[in-house]
Amino acid sequence: MVSRLVTIVLCGTVATVGCATKSYVNEQVTGAETKLAQQVATTQASLGDRADTQETKLNKLAADTAGNREAVGAADQQLKGLDTRVTEADAAATDARIQAERATAATRDAEARLAQRLAGRNSYRVLDTKAIYFDSGRMDLRAEDLATLDELAKALAADPNAILELRGFADTNGSDRYNRELIRERIESVMRYLIVRHDVELRQMQGIPIGKITVPAGAKATPETLAQARRVDLRVLAPWSSWQDRTAVDPSPVASPSPSTAASPVTEAPSALPREVQRSEAPANTFDTSARTRLPAILRTLTPQDLGGD
């Protein structure tokens, strides 16, 4: 009986204790859950804020990266443009160098040509040679010689630097003084015609009275030789530099003969002699030496190519 009571008491005590423990545990669990929920909410809020901050930073970084890419692209375009300009500048510098070299070469060539022209400024080229004849004791021009003088006037007008050399001769008739005066008047008659008819400048003409011919010892003057002696030899001379200037502008009108060809001796057709001594064949001119032999030695060897001509 007592043991049963003891058992009943113990069972009640245990039941009471068990009920108290379960309530306590529930209270503890509920409090822990509340704290845990609060901590989770706090953590979630903190993580959300951190995530928002990181997203903002990532967005800003993405925007900065895009800006940097655009800046890099613009810089690359600028570099490409700069490279193009550098290439163009290099090409322009190369072209300028080539032009400078050409200008230097042209300057040297011009200086060489100028030096040649200065060295040969007193050298002349024979453009044409003619002769007109006079009747015995006369100084007036014959009608058949006027065409010859007209042709020479055209040559003088074509080149202002050209000069006309007039060499007067006479036959053996008369005294030396008489012949010198006659030759002078014949030369003046030619010059007067060129001045009055063609406005040839006096500076372009040089008259040289040579004198009367000399008959070789033992020879006899014939009417033919006397007629040949009564003449004025005409030579149109031009500076070599003047001839080069004309050929440089228009090489077709004037050929480029050598000085030996340019300075050929005077030869006249029989019709140039006075009528009374004309023959089928005119006698050789024994009173005029070759013009080439009268040139300085250096001029007899020069060619237009030596002086810069084409």
Structure confidence by residue, pLDDT tens digits, 267-306: 333 334 444 444 333 333 333 434 444 444 544 555 555 5
pLDDT at 276: 40
Do the beta carbons of residue 223 and residue 172 sit within 8 Å? no
Amino acid 5 reads L
Amino acid 160 reads P
pLDDT at 83: 83
Question: Which of 72-76, 81-85, 152-156, 172-176 shows the highest mean pLDDT?
Answer: 152-156
Q: Please name which of 152, 162, 125, 168 lies closest in space to residue 304, comparing C-alpha atoms.
A: 125
**Helix pair angle (240-249, 2-119), 10° resolution:** 130
Three-class DSSP labels, 51-119: HHHHHHHHHHHHHHHHHHHHHHHHHHHHHHHHHHHHHHHHHHHHHHHHHHHHHHHHHHHHHHHHHHHHH
Q: Does pLDDT of 201 surpass 70?
A: yes
Do the beta carbons of residue 136 and residue 171 sit within 8 Å? yes
For 257-296, b where at least 16 C-beta lie within 10 A, e where not — what string?
A: eebbebbeebebeeebbbeebeeeebeebebbeebbeebe
Give pLDDT tens digits for 132-179. Answer: 999 988 999 999 999 999 999 999 998 888 999 999 999 988 888 999
Q: Please name which of 285, 304, 277, 246 lies closest in space to residue 130, comparing C-alpha atoms.
A: 285
- Cβ atoms < 10 Å from Cβ of 89: 10
**For the domain 124-294, what is the CATH superfamily, name and number?**
OmpA-like domain (3.30.1330.60)
Percent of the chain topping pLDDT 70: 69
Q: Please name which of 308, 281, 282 lies closest in space to residue 116, comparing C-alpha atoms.
A: 308
Give pLDDT tens digits for 238-265. Answer: 887 665 555 555 544 444 444 333 333 3
**Helix pair angle (176-198, 146-158), 10° resolution:** 60
